[in-house]
Amino acid sequence: MPEFPGRTLRIGTRASPMALVQAERAAALLRGLVPGLTTRTVPTTTSGDTWPGPLADAGGKALFVKEVDRRLQLGEVDVAVHCLKDVPGDRPLPEGLVTAATLPRDDVHDVLLAPDASPVTTLDDLPSGAGVATGAVRRRAQLLALRPDLRVVDVRGAVATRLEKLDGLRPGLDADAMVLARAGLMRLGLTGRIRRVFPLDAVLPAVGAGVLTVQCRADDDAVIALLHRADDPRTHAEATAERAMLHGLRGHCGSPVAGHCTTDESGQLTLRAAVFTPDGSRTARACLHAPARQDAAALGTRVCEALLTQGARTIIDAP
């Protein structure tokens, strides 16, 4: 990569604290691959960061990525770092952009948090009618499947803001507990707030959970070659299977869809997936295998078909 030591790689990202940490992680990985590489983070405050209401009312999770992607298309940045779960699964990438690297996956579990002074350590500790805060329809459905007597309330904003609301330091939230992604808390150094890690058979993660992707322009050969060196083949295959399933289901941010692909020591892929009604009362589940990474996309398609056979479309579209 002889052209890179003399070229600053401009890294586009959201301006949230979490996104800045994630962009620096990608930058550090790339600097480790190319001695002498210089990087500069270019933050953008996106519509998703400022929209106060439900995402589905304003275009879905594309709100978190479209302004950053637009700057990439215009040549104002060289790459864009995104949480894969924020990249819409029901539409192609913007024109002229490609995903050139899928970074090694972080922890995929969801976790339970409680106010600092609360004795709550598990979901079972919460009384009937207690409020649990989450911004994800997938979590809402699975929490209600576990505890239909709970009151699930919506929460938005940066992690620090959510925690301040949970602790009563900010107004606007009436909740006794909160569910967040463990990976995000790890990136922010906030794992001390975790009371309980949900096992995967209780709360299945989001498609793309714990995965960062790096996009660039399709005609930028030098950047593509650099990013390919950072790509993690295992995570790439697992994410491919999950996203193929989500795409087949036409899943979006308002769809209670969960999926998690793993790779065993022999290289075999296993994809577990589920869809839920918003209240968690109905579900369809599937678990299938594929012998190798090159079969990842086909595995996702087969799991999608298995879910559709069980009525997944009706379940997803339930009011």
pLDDT tens digits, 183-219 = 999 999 999 999 999 999 999 999 999 999 999 999 9
Answer whether 280's CB lies under 8 Å from 318's CB.
Answer: no
What is the extent of the structural domain holding 164? 110-197
One domain for residues 174 and 304: no
pLDDT-derived band at 50 (thresholds 50, 70, 90) equals low
Instruction: Answer yes or no: is 21 within a domain.
Output: yes
How many alpha carbons fall within 13 Å on the CB side of residue 213?
A: 24
Residue 192 and residue 207: Cα distance in Å, rounded?
A: 25
Among the listed residues 184, 195, 243, 245, the one whose alpha carbon sits nearest the alpha carbon of residue 20: 184
Mean model confidence pLDDT for the chain: 92
How many alpha carbons fall within 13 Å on the CB side of residue 259?
A: 34
**pLDDT (tens digit per residue) in 281-293:** 999 999 999 999 9
pLDDT of residue 213: 98
Instruction: Answer yes or no: is 148 within a domain.
Output: yes
In the block, tokens 């697992």 appear at 238
Token pair recorded at residue 25: 């992680």
158: Cα separation from own chain's centroid:
14
Number of domains in the chain: 3
Which residues fall within 8 angstroms of residue 186, CB to CB, at 6 or more apart? 106, 107
Helix (H, G, I), strand (E, B) or coil at 188: coil
Instruction: Answer yes or no: is 205 within a domain.
Output: no
Return the CATH number at 94.
3.40.190.10
Instruction: Answer yes or no: is 15 within a domain.
Output: yes
Q: Which residues are catalytic?
A: 86
Instruction: Answer yes or no: is 129 within a domain.
Output: yes
Residue 132 and residue 118: Cα distance in Å, rounded?
A: 13
Answer whether 230's CB lies under 8 Å from 103's CB.
Answer: yes
**pLDDT (tens digit per residue) in 246-289:** 999 987 667 899 999 999 999 999 999 999 999 999 999 999 99
Instruction: Answer yes or no: is 240 within a domain.
Output: no
**pLDDT (tens digit per residue) in 133-181:** 999 999 999 999 999 999 999 998 899 999 999 999 999 999 999 999 9
One domain for residues 86 and 165: no
pLDDT of residue 249: 93
What percent of the chain shows pLDDT beyond 90? 84
One domain for residues 156 and 221: no
- 86 pLDDT above the threshold of 70: yes
